[in-house]
């Protein structure tokens, strides 16, 4: 709603006076609320703060002590700056005034040519009114925007993103425990933004006497509508969302789902950013036993997270495809045994556990490996714990999953079966998977394929012919098993 001293100096009306900045720097960023014209040494008592004083200094005293006292009084009432027109009375700015302005950081400008002060005041006042009108219009627009978001029940991350765009600076939402719920960083690194939280402007998210969290905005330029005004409107929209949803439980789910999505999805690019978000949510990696797990079947994610915390673990959990996935962080002294894992999963649900991780890339690898194991074994066999560490071939494929040579091996071994299944809607890959899942027991493999033994054996003969391979040879079966596991790693996921 205000101009700065620098804005006023750049106006054509003042530029005609060939202004020379005597004291500038940060002082030029002071807000100008109004322009006042006076030569009186008693002008300070007429000011309210934020004025830019235009003067010829005609009535200024010659005594240095009195000039210093005069300049100090102007600073004390909050004057934005002094613009002195040089002339016969003051061919240069008095040194006493320069000294005080330099010490106090008060903008001081000399006009080396004569200007019409009335033209300056008119131009500045018109600009101030235009700025105030623009600010009011921006506030009206933002009020409409956040009202619509509230009425539509927009998720917290959408409200946070709109708030950040309106302010032009990163904005974050924390719950009462200080855990990061959502953030919009406007291209800045997440870790960098989180480190700057101590310098952020903060507004509580609350309604009807209940507080749910805090909305933060990192330092940035002042928007036309005002930083705190925008933050307050964003906080109000978030509070309405909490009232409509009956609490902030959805916030916690949103935060955890966002981390899981970013870790597994294409947006994952910076390990430091993921680590900072995990740490902001109370999930520690250093000196802990950390694993990615997959839980088969369906249950409440909230219940799973509650049981994990009840067991003394930090947890980040979300629904991914047909399973629940979670990151677990246990104290180094706590062993994640089968009893604990089955308790966390809930009644009758299988658990697939990735290798222990020490950093974010390791955590990603652990969670991927657990998902791969769940996909290969299926999740419908009731309560059980399966660990990637107990499956050497699974562990090897998880380690090499991004190596092109592994995928070239898979393509080379399986391409005849892939083409056959695509052209004839066949099931040869499924039959091969059943054979490899039940080595030495083809009756069980046929049953797993839901085929009669005779049809199953016909499929095996066809597979052998297409691959020109002996399906009784152990090395051949191992190579096919490796190829099939690698193919599953690259198959699209829900």
Return the higher-pLDDT residue of 448 and 46: 46
| The pLDDT of residue 365 is above 60 | yes
Rounded to an integer, the average pLDDT of 282-300 is 87
| The pLDDT of residue 14 is above 70 | yes
Q: What is the per-residue pLDDT for 492?
A: 46
The β-bridge partners of 163 are none
CATH entry, 285-399, from 3.90.1170, 1.10.4100, 3.30.70, 3.40.190: 3.30.70
Rounded to an integer, the average pLDDT of 345-360 is 90
Question: Where are the chain's structural domains?
Answer: 3-124, 153-282, 285-399, 404-490
| pLDDT tens track for 65-117 | 999 999 999 999 999 999 999 999 999 999 999 999 999 999 999 999 999 99
Q: What is the per-residue pLDDT for 266?
A: 47
| pLDDT tens track for 122-138 | 988 888 888 788 878 88
Rounded to an integer, the average pLDDT of 206-220 is 89
| The pLDDT of residue 380 is above 60 | no
Q: What is the per-residue pLDDT for 246?
A: 62
User: Class for domain 153-282, per CATH?
Assistant: alpha beta
The CATH code for residues 3-124 is 3.40.1390.20
Write down the mean pLDDT value for the chain.
85
Return the higher-pLDDT residue of 66 and 178: 66
* Lowest mean per-residue pLDDT among 231-235, 340-344, 477-481: 477-481
User: pLDDT class for 379, splitting at 50, 70, 90?
Assistant: low
Q: What is the per-residue pLDDT for 489?
A: 58
> pTM of the full predicted structure?
0.58
């Amino acid at each position: 709603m205000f101009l700065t001293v620098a804005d006023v100096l750049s106006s054509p009306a003042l530029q005609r006076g060939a202004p020379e900045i005597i004291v500038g720097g940060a002082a030029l960023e002071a807000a100008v609320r109004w322009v006042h014209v006076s030569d009186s040494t008693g002008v300070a008592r007429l000011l309210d703060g934020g004025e830019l004083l235009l003067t010829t200094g005609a009535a200024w005293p010659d005594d240095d002590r009195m000039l210093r006292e005069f300049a100090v009084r102007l600073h004390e009432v909050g004057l934005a700056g002094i613009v002195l027109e040089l002339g016969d009375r003051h061919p240069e700015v008095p040194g006493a005034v320069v000294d005080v302005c330099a010490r106090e950081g008060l903008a001081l400008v000399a006009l080396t040519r004569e200007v019409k002060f009335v033209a300056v005041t008119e131009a500045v006042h018109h600009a101030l009114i235009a700025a105030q009108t623009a600010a009011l219009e921006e506030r009206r627009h933002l009020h409409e925007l956040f009202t619509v978001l509230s009425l539509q029940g927009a998720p917290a991350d959408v409200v946070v993103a709109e708030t950040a765009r309106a302010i032009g600076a990163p904005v974050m939402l924390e719950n009462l425990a200080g855990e990061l719920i959502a953030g919009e960083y406007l291209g800045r690194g997440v870790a960098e933004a989180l480190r700057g939280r101590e310098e952020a402007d903060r507004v509580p998210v609350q309604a009807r006497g209940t507080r749910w969290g805090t909305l933060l905005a990192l330092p940035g330029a002042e928007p036309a509508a005002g930083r705190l005004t925008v933050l307050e409107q964003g906080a109000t929209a978030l509070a309405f969302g909490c009232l409509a949803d009956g609490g902030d439980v959805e916030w916690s789910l949103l935060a955890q789902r966002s981390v899981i999505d970013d870790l597994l999805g294409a947006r994952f690019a910076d390990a430091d950013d993921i680590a900072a978000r995990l740490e902001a949510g109370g999930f520690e990696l250093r000196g802990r036993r950390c694993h990615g797990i997959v839980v088969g079947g369906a249950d409440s994610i909230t219940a799973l997270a509650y049981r994990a915390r009840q067991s003394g673990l930090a947890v980040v959990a979300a629904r991914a495809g047909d399973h629940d996935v979670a990151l677990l962080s246990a104290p180094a002294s706590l062993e994640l045994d089968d009893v604990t894992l089955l308790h966390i999963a809930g009644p009758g649900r299988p658990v697939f556990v990735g290798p222990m991780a020490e950093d974010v890339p390791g955590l990603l690898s652990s969670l991927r490996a657990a998902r791969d194991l769940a996909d290969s074994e299926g999740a419908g066999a009731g309560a059980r714990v399966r660990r990637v560490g107990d499956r050497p071939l699974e562990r090897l494929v998880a380690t090499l999953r991004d190596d092109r040579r592994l995928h070239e091996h898979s393509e080379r071994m399986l391409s005849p079966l892939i083409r056959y299944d695509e052209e004839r809607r066949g099931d040869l890959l499924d039959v091969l998977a059943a054979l490899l899942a039940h080595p030495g027991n083809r009756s069980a493999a046929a049953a797993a394929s839901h085929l009669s033994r005779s049809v199953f054996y016909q499929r095996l003969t066809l597979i052998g012919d297409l691959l020109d391979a002996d399906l009784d040879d152990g090395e051949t079966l191992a190579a096919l098993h490796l190829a099939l596991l690698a193919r599953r790693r690259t198959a699209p996921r829900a």
